[in-house]
Amino acid sequence: MFGTKTGRRRGPALALLAAASLVLTLGGCSVGTVTPAEARDQAGSGEGASADAKGGKGGKGETPAGEAVDCTKAKCIALTFDAGPGKDTPRLLDILKEKQVHATFFLLGKKHVVRYPDVVRRIADEGHEVANHTWTHRILTDTDANEVRDELSRTQDAIAKITGRKPTLMRPPQGRTDDTVSDVSRELGLSQVLWSITAKDYSTEDSTLIRQRVLDQAHGDGIILLHDIYKGTVPAVPGIIDELKRQGYTFVTVPQLLAPARPEPGTVYRPERPE
């Protein structure tokens, strides 16, 4: 079933069990998760603190420009983009630069990282967090450990070839993860990052609707999921940023959201949605 090592290649007899399990995995993952607040609390108590997490052990996260951000006090929110880069990513980077916002980009290897190396380099050079979204967007819980490793390691190597640094974060396609995915992620030095806010921008080109969906779900310590490969998404970003700033939010990357904790390889991070 989804979410376990057992029966990853299941037969027809397990169809009903798989369907029931699908309900769980579509909502995120079926393994234990850690919230940003829990990560920070653990670091504050001396567990999982980072000596190099942009601020030092017990310190604050810093923006790439050096401005300190303390997400225990500030109303922080992380803007993340999946499945790029694409043809609209340079325009998105222009917007983020103009708005002085840094984001986290979960990049696809095949047909994206390899097609747009200059854009990948620009993402890194402009202070955004470069992360892994697999090589071909395969559902990792439907594959064995070797295939999971191939999907992640090929993207790690392709990004490192361009930026000189392997990512430390990854996002499993559709948010589906299990013990095997976690084990391989740990082996490759990758933490898993899910989300709490989504515009479902794959289902609409209406930029106004995308903007409103994000604003309706926004909350402190939230992680926004968008895709810079869909037509309606990039035009929605300026309005999202402007309104959330007006509401007092501070935009951070995922490592800044967790600081002073260091993202732990294999761990799954997902914010709690407020009731």
User: Given pLDDT bands bounded at 50, 70 and 90, which one contains residue 30?
Assistant: low
For residues 122-149, b (16+ Cβ closer than 10 Å) or e, as one string? bbbeeebbbbbbbbebeebbebeeeebb
- Is-catalytic flag, 227? yes
Which of helix, strand or coil describes residue 225?
Answer: strand
| Residue among 70, 82, 137, 157 flagged as catalytic | 82
Measuring CA to CA, which residue among 140, 133, 138, 80 is closest to residue 108? 133
- Residue pLDDT, tens place only, 209-248: 999 999 999 999 999 999 999 999 999 999 999 999 999 9
Measuring CA to CA, which residue among 172, 198, 179, 181 is closest to residue 271? 198
| Residue among 112, 128, 227, 228 flagged as catalytic | 227
Give the rounded distance of the alpha carbon of 255 from its chain centre. Answer: 10
> Within 13 Å, how many C-alpha atoms sit on residue 149's CB side?
9
- Residue pLDDT, tens place only, 71-83: 999 999 999 999 9
User: Given pLDDT bands bounded at 50, 70 and 90, which one contains residue 29?
Assistant: low
- Residue pLDDT, tens place only, 98-153: 999 999 999 999 999 999 999 999 999 999 999 999 999 999 999 999 999 999 99
β-bridge partners, 62 = 68
Give the rounded distance of the alpha carbon of 169 from its chain centre. Answer: 7
| Rg of the chain in Å (alpha carbons) | 18
The single residue listed with the structure tokens 């951000």 is 69
Which residues, 6 or more positions from 74, have their beta carbon under 8 angstroms from its beta carbon? 250
The DSSP result for 132-191, as a single string, is: E--SS---GGGS-HHHHHHHHHHHHHHHHHHHSS--SEE--GGG---HHHHHHHHHTT-E
Average pLDDT over all residues of the chain: 86
- Is-catalytic flag, 133? no
Alpha-helical regions (H) of the chain: 15-26, 36-44, 89-99, 117-125, 145-163, 179-187, 207-217, 233-246, 254-258
- For residue 207, pLDDT over 60 is answered with yes
pLDDT at residue 67, rounded to an integer: 62
User: Given pLDDT bands bounded at 50, 70 and 90, which one contains residue 47?
Assistant: low
Pairing mode, strands 75-84 and 249-252 = parallel
Measuring CA to CA, which residue among 236, 182, 121, 65 is closest to residue 224? 236
User: Given pLDDT bands bounded at 50, 70 and 90, which one contains residue 55?
Assistant: very low
DSSP one-letter code for 111: I
What pTM does this model have? 0.84
Confirm if 61 and 255 have CB atoms less than 8 A apart: yes
Confirm if 60 and 260 have CB atoms less than 8 A apart: yes
